[in-house]
Structure formats: C-alpha cells, structure tokens
Amino acid sequence: MKTRAGLLFGSFNPIHSGHMMLAAYMLQFTDLNEVWFVVSPHNPLKEKNTLLADYHRLELVYRAVDDYPGFRVSDIEFRMPKPSYTIDTLVRLGEKHPGHSFTLICGADALQSFRKWKNFTQILDNYRLLVYPRKNVDSTEFDQHPSVTLVDAPQIELSSSFIRHGIATGRDMRFFLPEKVYRYISEMHFYE
C-alpha cells in the first residue's frame, strides 16, 4: 500500500507556528501518513527585498520540522524550471517517489482561483485536495468536487508578513515561531 503524503507548498518566509499547527492537524486528523513541506523558490514576479535566500528558508524549515515523525521537507522545486507549477511538481514527485500517493493541502482561498492554475483539471482528475478554511471564504465552485475534501481545521490567523514586520520593528516574536527557527533568525539577524 502506498504512503499517503500531503504536500504543503510555501515560500515559508519564515515558517511559523501556524504552518506547524496546520501540518500537525492534517497528520493527526486526516488519513495522511506524512506531511511534506515543499519549499518554493523565489517567484520572479514577486518582490525579493523581504525574501530570504532559498537555502536560508530551506534551513528554517528543516529546523522547524527537526525529527518530528511524519514531517518531511522537500526542495524539489529548486531544481525545476521557473516558474514551477504545482502540476509539474506533483508529476515529478510521483516519478521520484512511486511508493507514495500525493495529496495537495491548500487553503480555501487557493480554490477560489483554482481555474487559473496550470492544468487544474489534471490535478482534480489525479490527486486529492485537502482544503482548510480561510477567513472571508465561504464556498467555492469546487467544494463539491469528488477530489476535494473540506477539512475543519482550526483557522490560525498568523502570517509570515506579520512575523517579518514584528521582527523589523523590534518585537519579541519567539512564541510565534518554532524555537529553533526563532533562534536561527535571531542569530542571523534576519528580517531586522
């Protein structure tokens, strides 16, 4: 039987306690065997001034995940053509890890713009989506799709931009971040 792995994509700039709680929820309250944090490289269409280098963000995710059973880290998109599209990453992961079946973990806000995703019908035809609630998103046209499962995860209103702003303005942000992530950010003076 294949290992059921959920994929949580993000720039993780930085990874924070909200990401960890969501991943833990998916691991403990769904049928997933693993949750993989897929660190996305810099998007050339986005501002880079607040984005840490890829390897620093990857290191932060490794420190957050540490040796927690069921959590894994993937930098597969670092070695793929840019921009990387979710469908291409899913296909590549399937080729590299034939013993796994992959499920996309995303927020309800992502489903609102899902028609704009490259080959979105191929994603729906071949993969499951576990969709967690987001503030101000009541429903989408895909809520009833057989590949989509709406998950009643707690809504955690915490963002990486909030963390960056807090650090930049001299606030103590230690309780918003995994301890090893906070320590590394402090040592490296990131976001100050």
Please check the confidence at residue 48 and state whether its pLDDT lies above 80.
Answer: no
Q: So what's the pLDDT on residue 45? A: 53
Q: Which pLDDT value is given to residue 84?
A: 85
Give the separation between CA 97 and CA 91, rounded to whole angstroms. Answer: 10
Q: Residue range 148-166: average pLDDT?
A: 95
For residues 3 and 100, the answer to whether their CB atoms sit within 8 Å is: yes
Model confidence at 46, pLDDT cuts 50, 70, 90, reads low
- pLDDT 10s digits, 28-45: 999 999 999 999 997 655
Position 70 pLDDT exceeds 70:
yes
Please report the pLDDT score of residue 67 as a whole number.
Answer: 86
State yes or no: cis peptide before 146, omega within 30 of 0. no
Mean pLDDT of 93-106: 98
Q: For all residues of the chain together, what is the average pLDDT?
A: 94
Q: What is the pLDDT of residue 78?
A: 95
CA distance 12 to 32: 21
Residues found in the chain: 192
Angle CA 27–33–36, to nearest 5: 70
- Of 190, 177, 94, the residue nearest 104 (C-alpha): 94
Top pLDDT among 25 and 43 is at 25
pTM score, whole prediction: 0.95
